[in-house]
Amino acid sequence: MRDIQRAGFKEPTPIQVKAIPPGLEGRDVLGCAQTGTGKTAAFVIPMIERLADGQRGHPRGLILAPTRELVFQIQETVDKLGRSRRISATSIVGGADMLAQVRGLRQRPDIIVATPGRLLDHMWQGNILFTKLEVVVLDEADRMLDMGFADQLNQIIDAIPEERQTLLFSATLPDNLGDLARMSLKNPIRALVSKRATPAAGVTHKLHHTTQAEKTSLLLSILKDNKDAVLVFARTKHRVNRLGEALERLGHRVAILHGDRRLSQRRSALEGFRRGRYTVLVATDVAARGLDVDNIAHVVNFDLPYTAEDYIHRIGRTGRMNKVGMATSFVTDEDSNNLRAIERLIGHSVPRAAGSRPPAAPRPRGNARPRNGGPFVKRAHPQGGVDAGARARKFGGYRPSNVGRVATPQD
């Protein structure tokens, strides 16, 4: 309780109220709540308490997360809340020094926080043994599947003891997560605080119908009137680089974050943004989950995400812990179907911003011929047209939304 108070927690959030008691009892938990509502503490607190009085010397807790940034933030939470109970943790992520991680493992940490790919590297080399494993957490599990970690998750789950406690948490619970939940959880307590996809109540949504060529000038007009921290999401790494460089030339204090940046660059960008050294962070969806920065006042979707669920995660970077925030999306004619999917998911239309031009007419879907007798419209998949069926994996024929995305060693 002393460490919890030192960490700034005054009273439990709804997800913590529902998840911590069964977690302390050793029950499996399936947790879902809006982003920014304290899910990390909801699984770290019972894990620390359950491991504190047990036998030391081997890893007894494992936390899997999809990105390096989320791993480091979870590590920080374990360090804060586990100090008095003498619970230690180490981080295992791609892009970092393998030998340094081996040295960290030789310190016999109680908890390992890891991304799946690099964890398997250490398991194959015999650097980690999970014979004493007691508690496993799958954080943002749906995102791990979307990022192509299905095979790695299969191998990890097969290699850990069957007698264990498992906690699975996410901000959304799409249908394709059901097979993973059935495979890894036993009679779980369902700690469901929100609907399957619910934006934070304090976020104001608006959109601009625009063109690709007008997006940059529109973003500049938003930044001109905004004095607070702004997080800008773009769809590709190349566009993030180009946009960040353009904003920097115009005098904005900009950081860039995407998967091809070195680990030191990613940590520097995130820490500088958190401390106010940068006022604008331009990022791909690597920053859509787990980014814990209190002062983000505005999220701008320079490009709409590929999936409607990622819209929830992106805008969840603002309006955290019952604060207010703004989410602005730039929508081109080609985005009409994506926008309709987002509006169906959140249950209402996104209002147009003042001065936005009217939306374009709906585009024909699939390979259907338009009624005006025009040519066939063949819509390529954004990841390169890979057949979704070819990506089905062990989880009951799971089809990831980012079909062409395959986990890389850097993940």
3-class state of residue 67 by DSSP: coil
Lowest-pLDDT choice from 242-246, 248-252, 254-258, 402-406: 402-406
Q: Are 46 and 82 a contacting pair, CB within 8 Å?
A: no
CB 253 within 8 A of CB 227: no
pLDDT digit string, tens, across residues 124-157: 999 998 999 999 999 988 788 777 788 898 899 9
d(CA 289, CA 70): 7
Domains and CATH numbers, the chain: 2-192 (3.40.50.300), 203-346 (3.40.50.300)
- pLDDT tens readout for residues 178-197: 778 888 899 999 998 865 55
- The C-alpha atoms of residue 292 and residue 69 are separated, in whole angstroms, by 9
* 157-161, 269-273, 309-313: least confident range: 309-313
Edge-first strand listing for the sheet containing 135-139: 89-92, 111-114, 61-64, 135-139, 165-170, 29-32, 189-192
Q: How far apart are CA 230 and CA 241, in angstroms?
A: 16
Angle between helix 150-159 and 116-124 (nearest 10): 50
Lowest mean per-residue pLDDT among 31-35, 78-82, 245-249:
31-35
Name the DSSP letter for residue 128: -
Residue 43 is predicted with a pLDDT of 96
Query: What span, in angstroms and rounded, lies between the C-alpha atoms of 410 and 407?
Result: 8
Residue 268 has pLDDT above 80, yes or no: yes
Both structure tokens of 70: 């989320």
d(CA 70, CA 399) in angstroms, rounded, equals 24
Q: What is the pLDDT of residues 295-317, one digit of tens each?
A: 788 999 999 998 888 888 888 78
The answer to whether 120 touches 155, Cβ cutoff 8 Å, is yes
Rounded to whole angstroms, the Cα distance separating 286 from 67 reads: 7
